[in-house]
Amino acid sequence: MGPDYGDIDTPYKCGVNQVNMNQWTGLISTAFGIVYAIMSYTLPDASIGNPMEPKIFPLMLGIGVTICGILLIINESKKKSTAQEIKKERGKGLSHDSKLIIYTCVVAFIYALLFERIGYVLSTIIFMNAMLFVLNGKQKWKTNLIVSMTFSITIYLVFLKLLAIPLPMIPFLQI
Amino acid sequence: MLFKKAMTTMVAGTVIAAMLLTGCTSKPTATNGNADAEVKYPVKALEFIAPAGAGGGWDTTIRTVAKTLKDTKLVSVPMPVTNKPGGGGGIALAYLEEKKGSDDIITVYSPPLLLINLNGSTPLGYKNTTPLARLIADYACFVVAKDSPYKTINDVMDAIKKDPKSVKVGGTSAAGSMDHLQFLKIAKAAGVADVKEVDYISFQDGSGPAQVLGGHVDLLSTGIADAKALMESGDLRALAITADKRIGEGMIAEIPTCIEQGIDATFINWRGLFGTADMPEYAVKYWQETLKKMSETEEWKAACKTNGWDNIYLGGEDFVKFLEQENENNKVLLEEIGMLKK
Amino acid sequence: MEVILHNLLLGFQTAFEPINLFWVTLGGILGTIIGMLPGLGPATGVAVLLPMTYAMGPTGALITMCGVYYGAMFGGSRSSILINTPGDGAAIAATFDGYPMAMNGRAEAALAISAIASFIGGMISVIFMIFLATPVARFALKFGPAEYFLLMLMAIAMTSSMSKGNVIKGFLSMFLGLAVAMVGLDPQSGVNRFTFGSLELQSGIDFLTVIIAIYALGEVFKCFKDIREGKKKMQTKFGKIWITKEDWKRTWKPILRSTPLGFIIGALPGAGGTMASLMAYNNEKQLSKNPEEFGKGEIIGLAAPEAANNASSVGALIPMLSLGIPGSGTTAVMMGALLMLGLQPGPMLFQNHPDIAWGLIASMVVGNIILAIINIPMAGALVRVLAIPPKILYPIILGLAFIGTYAISNSVIDFYIMIVFGVVGFFMEKAKIPSAPFILAIIVGNMMEISFRQALLISDGSWGIFVGSPIAAILLALTVASVVLPFIKGHKFFNRKKATIAK
């Protein structure tokens, strides 16, 4: 695995050395659990049967998440997290790249916006080229274009002809 | 590198070729419309929408309509069916609203169209559609396990009057929707004072018949089709149907109506076709005529028979009036159990 | 007995007619292709091919649908193994050890064992079905809401407590998944929960969207850098699609153990293949001498769920054929098709149309054999997907993920949900929270809550219903045991004792 680049959420860089990943998880879970439980409690009453009925189960879940979160925090603070351990954990980071993840999300978001507006084939070609551009490189734009066009047209035809599921069409052209 | 590339292209090519090949053999003639010289509309593929997932009542109805129209050659353009499930039909309703005024979208609805609006699931309702025709009806029936102590629908109602919690009613649709309301409507007519107190248990995965068979609920409020097989084998016993007369043949015809048993109420699970709001005049006219013709064909009658549907065509203005009437009735009932959204 | 054999023979005559052989083969191939596409499972496969079957007549139609059903079940795990993207819920378990096997360069063995296990699971289940359909159907009726709740509780509790590493995180993952499952319109009361006014969220978050997000998107997020820098290598040499003798020696017992489990779970209406395969996986992990190998490419971890998965798909036909009640999404569609063909599935089907009913059962046998035969060469072609450079393969996986998501409900809203869960999945991976309990909880969450409330409604609020029947009591005991056991096993005292006993 490669070194850790541009972490979104590694707390060590913020200078909070003693708080490790598990404690962060615990803290976030606890917060989520509490918010969830409160939201469950404030759900509208059921108009038939026991008015509390739709709330009980989610309430239990909210409490469950909270308990797990607290247990995580307690467990971690019991462990003596030595500097070595922290180092070890850092070394094991995944080979992700936060910029690329954000890029993918933005591209996917734009894809979703375009999907029904300009049709499946066009939007998919744009989306795949955007992805291939960063992964495969702009030098290989010919390959990128061929791959994306073949893919989108094949899928379109498979859905339309084989599965009889019409996908959004290119406006005006109706294909 | 060259080898790898060639390899990749080859694999991709084979897969594509295989897919295209299978595609062609399976469906040879699904190209865009060859316009009929006499009728200018429709000229291109229509969009038929089932507002629920595959396999349910709405899906079956619209697919049967599409098949009949094609078989009888009443419509010659392709009519692919798209499933738009969600929100008890509300998602499809939102889609219809978005496509307001288009002439090529046809969808199917039944009482939930009114109910999801009345109980507040969606602000949209039948007013956001163009009702084209009511086509068929299903009726509700109330069934119990064969060894149940209840012999008639009145036995059930008497038990409920003594203790509303003593009879657990199961059904497939959500609380406050069809299976629930159809039972409450009959119960109210039978003189049950507080229908709100009756426990209704919704088995949305369709396991209702198994639950009543296994003795987990006492009575199942359902459509005839859903319980038919188990009634024929004698595992389930029907206490009443909600039609105004006896229907069907054989075993189904032996089920007494509620009216026969002294409860003066009926419940129709009608199904009809709808277009988008502001559907152009020519399209509305075309569909009303075509659907009327279709409802009179032998093919349609045969399809109704195999599905156990009552062929109750009602077109145009009359259908709209019918919907208004139904809407008022449901409003009263929902008000009673406190599920009406004000 | 003789009657059964006679009827079965009659069925085989029907199934072996050349035209029916053709249909089952065609159905199998189409089903495999559909099953491989993420998001498209057997239910969609059968539904979209319905129009085709109208022209065939009832026997041909049923046989084709069976082929599609089986094909999709076989195909679903192909994409799990090769690109870590399960075709549908039932194929999730195949990613746990199937994908690591492929990454370790054992893709051929993974594909082979998946086909072999599926074949054996399917075959044995058909035999079960021939002789045990009625008693099994009657047994399934004993499952009321309380028993369903406990069954699902057991499944997710087992999955959570068996999670890699931290048990607390396993349960955290489970609770989070259940919390997500609560989104939507509550069918029992009509209250909107956590929908924030969105109509689309009323029908809840589809678990398939979450699966595709966490596996397909998650995999891309996770390895982005390696992909871009070309560190993630493609496979260039391919061996024969077969397993070694050693593999077979280790897997045949797990396969035989998982088959009846899958069959019975499948026969319970609503339980389904996902639960069957995950329970089989947990079961084998619990029985294994070295459970730490699971998740790293342990072949047993692939064989067991695959056998259970196919066994459950046979079991799911039982409620449909013997009671006329659909046991799963796929059988619901098949039932609709039967009705349209003028056949009423249910107890009378075997009496009124023995040729069709037995023809169907015989064609399951034939279909299974044919699928096993076509799957081995097909796997040989498919495995070459791994020869596509990751730089190109991963954008294609993304493209497939999106179209699969769209196919679930023809709505772009699911794209946004998918992006969100892709990010959630990434953070879960970073925090080392296992994803299996999360996903299983989303799948069963709704039904679990509903069953819980149905049970209490039936019992007028008395919790006694959860120990009210022998089945309920046994399920509860197993659940408690599965939660407590890992703690005891981890305890030093217990381990030492075991070690001395072993000596």
Contacts of B23 in chain A (CB under 8 A): 157-158, 161-162
Distances (CA, A) of C468 to A120, B213, C465: 54, 18, 4
pLDDT for B10: 45
Find the CB nearest A162 among B22, B44, B196: B22
Q: Which residue of B has its CA nearest to C407?
A: B83
Average pLDDT over residues C241-267: 90
| Tens digit of each residue's pLDDT (9 = 90 or more) over B156-191 | 999 999 999 999 999 888 787 888 889 998 999 999
User: Is residue A27 a part of any domain in this protein?
Assistant: yes
Question: Residue B237: helix, strand or coil by DSSP?
Answer: strand
Q: Band of the pLDDT at C164, cuts 50, 70, 90?
A: low
Quick one: which H or E segment has residue A71? helix A53-78
> C185-210: per-residue pLDDT in tens?
787 777 788 888 777 787 788 888 89
The answer on pLDDT for A80 being more than 50 is yes
Does the structure show a pLDDT above 50 at B14? no
Identify the chains in contact with A, defined as 3+ C-beta pairs within 8 A: B, C
Average pLDDT value over all residues in chain B? 83
ipTM: 0.81
Contact A150 B12 (CB under 8 A): yes
Q: Could you say which of C188, C319, C342 has the minimum Cβ distance to residue B175?
A: C188
Cβ <8 Å between A164 and B30: yes
- Residue B158 sits in a domain whose CATH number is 3.40.190.10
What is the domain count for chain B?
2
Q: How many CB atoms lie within 10 A of CB B254?
A: 11
CATH number at residue B59: 3.40.190.150
Q: Please list every residue in chain A whose beta carbon sits closer than 8 Å to the beta carbon of residue C453.
A: 53, 57
Cα–Cα distance, B190 to B154 (Å, whole number): 8
CB pairs under 8 A between A and C: 186
Better-predicted residue by pLDDT, C237 or A140: A140
Interface test with C, best of A45, A104, A107 (most C CBs within 10 A): A104
CB contact under 8 A, B214 and C141: yes
Distances C294 to B187, C165, C253, C300 between C-alpha atoms, Å? 57, 12, 16, 8
Chains contacting B (3 or more CB pairs within 8 Å): A, C
What distance in Å separates the CA atoms of residue C474 and residue C146, rounded to the nearest whole number? Answer: 12
Clarify whether residues B241 and B166 are in a common domain. Answer: yes
B170: three-class secondary structure by DSSP? strand
What interhelical angle do A98-118 and C390-409 show, nearest 10? 50
* A170 inside domain: no
Q: How many angstroms separate the CA atoms of B267 and B252, rounded?
A: 17
Q: Reduced to 3 DSSP states, what percent helix, strand and coil does chain B have, rounded to the nearest 5? A: 45, 20, 40
Would the pLDDT of B113 be above 80?
yes
Judge: B211–C144 Cβ closer than 8 Å, yes or no.
Answer: yes
pLDDT tens digits for range C396-415: 989 988 998 888 778 888 89
Lowest mean pLDDT among C117-121, C134-138, C210-214, C489-493: C489-493
**Minimum Cα–Cα distance from B176: chain C residue:** C190
Whether B126 and B151 share a structural domain = no
Interface test with A, best of C37, C168, C459 (most A CBs within 10 A): C168
Q: Count contacts between B and C (CB, < 8 Å).
A: 183
Q: Which of residues 9-48 of A touch B (CB under 8 A)?
A: 47-48
Give the residue from chain C lying closest to B115, CA to CA.
C190
In angstroms, the separation between the Cα of residue C413 and the nearest Cα of chain A is 8
Using the 3D structure, point to which of A80, A106, A122 is the last residue of a domain: A80
Section C443-451 average pLDDT? 87
d(Cα C29, Cα C42) in Å, to the nearest integer?
12
pLDDT in tens, A143-159: 999 999 999 999 998 88
Report the sign of the C-alpha dihedral through residues C213, C218, C221, C223, in that order.
negative
Q: Please tell me the distance in Å from A122's CA to the nearest CA on chain B.
A: 19
Beta bridge partners of C282: none
Cβ distance B23 to A162 less than 8 Å, yes or no, reads yes
Q: Does B158 touch chain A if contact means CB atoms closer than 8 Å?
A: no
Amino acid at C268: L
If asked whether residues B264 and B274 sit together in one domain, one would say no
Domain end call among A52, A80, A108: A80
Is residue B145 located within the same domain as residue B261?
Answer: yes
C-beta atoms of A47 and B339 within 8 A: yes
Q: In the predicted model, what is the mean pLDDT of chain C? A: 84
Per-residue model confidence as pLDDT tens digits over B119-150 = 877 788 899 999 999 999 988 899 999 999 99
Contact B173, B179 (CB under 8 A): yes
Residue A9 lies in a domain: no
* A174 has a chain B CB within 8 A of its CB: yes
* Residues of chain A contacting residue C103, judged by C-beta atoms under 8 Å apart: none
- pLDDT digits over A85-108, tens only? 544 444 444 455 788 888 999 999
Number of domains in chain A: 2
Q: Are residues A75 and A102 in the same domain?
A: no
Contact residues for C375 (Cβ-Cβ < 8 A; gap 6+): C32, C74, C115
For residue B15, tell me if it sits in a domain.
no
Which domain does B326 fall in, by range? Answer: 47-136+269-336
Cis geometry, peptide bond prior to residue C347 (ω within 30 degrees of 0): no
Inspect the interface and report whether the beta carbons of A48 and B23 lie closer than 8 Å: no
> CB distance from A68 to chain C under 8 Å?
yes
CA distance B134 to B311: 9
CA B152 to each of CA A55, A155, B146, B149: distance values in angstroms, whole numbers, following the listed order: 37, 57, 12, 9
Crossing angle for the helix pair C300-315 and C107-141, to the nearest 10 degrees: 40
pLDDT tens profile C78-104 = 888 988 888 777 888 898 899 999 988
Q: Answer yes or no: is B10 within a domain.
A: no
Question: Is pLDDT above 50 for B19?
Answer: no
Contacts of A158 in chain B (CB under 8 A): 19, 23
Q: Which domain holds residue A132?
A: 98-162
Specify if A146 maps to a domain.
Answer: yes
pLDDT of residue A3: 39
Q: Evaluate if residue B46 carries a pLDDT over 80.
A: yes
Question: Across the interface, which of C40, C169, C191 has its CB nearest the CB of A44?
Answer: C191
Instruction: Answer left, alpha or beta for residue A137, where phi above 0 means left and psi between -120 and 50 means alpha.
Output: left
pLDDT on residue C56: 75
Residues of chain A positioned with their CB less than 8 A from the CB of B26: 161-162
Q: ∠B283-B286-B292 over CA atoms, to 5°?
A: 135
Residue C466 pLDDT > 80: yes
The arithmetic mean of pLDDT across residues C37-66, rounded, is 78
Tokens of C361: 């059962």
- Which chain A residues are within 8 Å of C419, Cβ to Cβ? 105, 108-109, 112
Q: What is the DSSP letter of C187?
A: T
**Residue A166 at interface with chain B, using a CB cutoff of 8 Å:** yes
Distance CA C255, CA C262 (A): 10
Q: Do C392 and A155 touch (CB under 8 A)?
A: no
Domain closes at, from A50, A80, A110: A80
Q: Is C484 exposed, middle or buried (0-12, 13-18, 19+ CB in 10 A)?
A: exposed
d(CA C144, CA B210): 9
Comparing CA positions, the residue from B78, B89, C69, C39 lying closest to residue A164 is: B78
Question: B269-298, pLDDT tens digit by residue?
Answer: 899 999 999 999 999 999 999 999 999 999
Nearest CB to A48: which of B23, B32, B196? B196
What pLDDT, on a 0 to 100 scale, did the predictor assign at position A5? 38
Asked if residue C276 has pLDDT above 60, the reply is yes
A119 shares its domain with A155: yes
Decide: C228 and C392 in contact? Cβ < 8 Å: no
Residue A21 vs residue A109, higher pLDDT: A109
Q: Domain limits of chain C? A: 2-143+245-412, 145-205+435-503
* Touching partners of C (3+ C-beta pairs < 8 Å): A, B
User: How close does chain A come to B77, measured CA to CA in Å?
Assistant: 14
Contact C458 B235 (CB under 8 A): no
Instruction: Look at residue C412 in the predicted model and tell me its pLDDT.
Output: 87
